[in-house]
Amino acid sequence: MTVKEIFDSMSYGPAPESNAEALAWLAKHKATFGHFVDGGFTAPEAVFETRNPATAQPLALVSQGSAASVDAAVKAARRAQPKWARLSGHARARYLYALARLVQKHSRLLSVLETMDTGKPIRESRDIDVPLVARHFYYHAGIAQLLASELPDHAPLGVCGAVIPWNFPLLMLAWKVAPALAAGNTVVLKPAEYTPLTALLFAEITREAGLPKGVLNIVTGDGDTGAALVAHPDVNKIAFTGSTSVGKRIRAATAGTGKALTLELGGKSPYIVFDDADLDSAVEGLVDAIWFNSGQVCCAGSRLLVQEGVAERFHEKLRRRMDGLRIGDPLDKCIDVGAVVDPVQLATITEMVNASDGEVYRAKTPLPAGCYYPPTLITGLGTASRLMQEEIFGPVLVSMTFRTPAEAVELANNTRYGLAATVWTENVNLALDIAPKLRAGVVWVNATNLFDAAAGFGGLRESGFGREGGWEGLMAYVKPAGKSVPLKPVAAMPAPVSAEVAGLDRTAKLYIGGKQARPDGGYSKPVFGPRGRLLGHAGLGNRKDIRNAVEAAQAAKGWAKTTGHSRAQILYYIAENLSARADEFARRLQDMTGKAGGDEVDAAISRLFTYAAWADKYDGAAKSVPIRGVALAMNEACGVIGALCPDEAPLLGLISVMGPAIAMGNTCVLVPSDPFPLAATDFYQVLETSDLPSGVVNIVTGSHAELAKPLAGHMDVDAVWSFSSSAVSVQIEAEAAGNLKRTWVNHGHARDWFSPLGEGRAFLRHATEVKTIWIPYGE
């Protein structure tokens, strides 16, 4: 027998991991748990059973959190927060460092308990999950140490509510808790109903670290418990990881509350294999992409797109590899694929696959009895097929072919999600051409499922918004220091009994697609000066005008492909042309508001210079991640930004919103000052003479109260900002839940547009998405 024949005939023997220590820990608590509030465990309440998915055997009884238990946890967090925030960054860093070290010291216990609770193979929890947990606490210990010097003008949000899923219970805890604590917040965490045990073990470990009481609180329970946490009026931020459907409900529930919100939701991530790829490596990567954690991963590479010329050969290699995967007891170290988390999830996977009209191939590998589903490949589906569009959240891969790179990008982006993507090719030029074109928050090149605390992770579109990890992730847990003041409604000048009319009648139009356009409804309103002079009429836009403006903005999205240098030149040119008409604009502002307008015009010109300067200087970063490679954090345009501009600064406010949006490559639909719109309708004459491509900036005048809904609800708008003095923040956030677009609203608080708060990095951050592109290198 040759050496090759020996290797081919070898089979893996069992290598079970002992669960004695985990069972002993459960026994110490009599396998019954209350909540962890104010540094200790409460008496159990309304307990329910958690089970080991692999054996269906009961593990523990945990408490169903009530509104009262959530309230107690929030009150404990609120009491602890001021003192925790007043600690020096070094003091918080010491606690986070201690937690990182304790995770390492208890790593085997945490790994085994995680596997028992979730059904994932011990190799995954031991070699991936728990080391990443420690890494996050180490990294954020460093963040805490540097925070005061790096972000001196920022403050913690307060009490953060975290709701996490069942697929990575401990890792998701670390993703939420580490940055929150580093920034000076306290936390109330609600783990998943199926998998609460490692969170409770971690809570116990925090006492070994000496973490002050109330800084971290854990309330177990089902969706009702999570809903109570989301709804609690004394929570300042909600961080949620879970399904898109629940994320939409949370977006709607938090609308208008002023709560900060980040959502990391579902995905249908493409895995693109070009014909020049190392096919054997691509197969191994695909095994990790879709069968890691039994496919129960939000960023799983569940849509295989393979180039036509190699598709048959690739599928053959893939089927052969599938047949060699080992399924069974997750505590066995030789197992590749473990159990599905719960019979309910197993039934969902089974139903979706059985309803498929494609060709189904199931791995020819023994399947244990119980909550298991075999690795599955489905081919022959169309782009509109349910399985090509909907998240299965199981070990099921669907596959299509493509001919050209352009077709690959089109197929990859043909989904409502935008979480992650993988590109497999030996051509670095092709990889770096494709990666920026993919609508995904994370792109892996010749690799998959790479994560690190230094590299931001998060999605676009219905995969949610916000990032976790890196400095960009930390920004979701801080706010500008200082107190804001209420913004008083700004009213138009009242119509006089007898208007003063001078000169020719003047009716300003809308500005859509580079052209002046009459409002669809045919209505306009008179604009009077403070002394009763009729200054002109402004069109009253409606939902059809918003639709037309959004279509024009979508058609101009090639603007994002222009260089920062080119965008800067146009912004300078706009400033130049505005400067040439400065006296005219100053008079217009004074005529409308009764206040001298020269300072506002000067500030507007300066602001255009600011964003011309930033257009080619808002750089990304090469993140220091522990691989032979680099993770590039690239700032990309959001897409189409709709904005309700400030009422109180008719020209400066509009330019302060438009400038960062177009500097970063976005197109925009602007609704100018409601009471003083004529500065904006004069300004589009400047845009027409400044080489700005048609559709990049569109201006629809009219009522903020009436236009907020169609703008925020439009499915082709990617982000909505509102600095209006009208009470529209609630409506905007509620309407945005339809496609989970990003929002930035003022909640009725004022901003000094003449001060540094009227410009800068905050605007640039809201005008961009961070895309993390992982590029391994070396042989």
The residues that are catalytic are: 264, 298
CB atoms within 10 A of CB 317: 17
Identify the CA nearest to 182 among candidates 136, 122, 246: 136
Which two tokens mark 723? 């600095």
Best CA proximity match to 72, nearest among 294, 228, 200, 291: 228
Bridge partners (DSSP) of residue 515 are 512
Would you give the DSSP letter of residue 564?
H
- DSSP-derived letter for residue 57 is -
H or E element that contains 622: strand 621-623
Per the CB < 8 A criterion, the answer to whether 713 and 743 are in contact is: no
How far is Cα 459 from Cα 255, in angstroms, rounded to an integer? 20
Selection from 576, 596, 572, 573 nearest residue 586 by Cα: 596
Radius of gyration of the chain (CA): 28
Mapping DSSP onto H, E and C, the string for 316-337 reads: HHHHHHHHCCCECCCCECCCCE
Residue 160, judged by CB atoms within 10 A of its CB (0-12, 13-18, 19+), counts as: buried
User: Per the structure block, which two tokens stand in for 418?
Assistant: 């935008």
> Which tokens go with 327?
């399924």
Tokens of 624: 């220091």
Residue 509: HSE in the Cβ half-sphere, 13 Å Cα cutoff: 10
Count of all residues that appear for the chain in the document:
779
Helix axes 704-713, 543-555, angle to 10 degrees: 50
Tokens of 633: 């954090």
Paired tokens of 533: 């002079």
* CB distance 550 to 669 below 8 Å: yes
Q: Which residues pair with 264 in a beta bridge?
A: 241, 464
To which residue do tokens 């989904």 refer?
415
The neighbouring-strand residues paired with 62 are 33, 48
d(CA 416, CA 389): 8
Cα(679)–Cα(586) distance, integer angstroms = 9
Angle at 552 between CA 551 and CA 558, to 5 degrees: 110
Distance between CA atoms of residues 741 and 251, nearest Å: 10
SS3 content of the chain, % helix, strand, coil (to 5): 45, 20, 40
The Cα–Cα gap between 440 and 463 comes to: 9
The Cα–Cα gap between 181 and 443 comes to: 28
**CB distance 775 to 632 below 8 Å:** yes
Rounded distance between C-alpha atoms, residue 636 and residue 666, angstroms:
9
Q: Which amino acid is at 509?
A: K
Tokens of 210: 């000496």
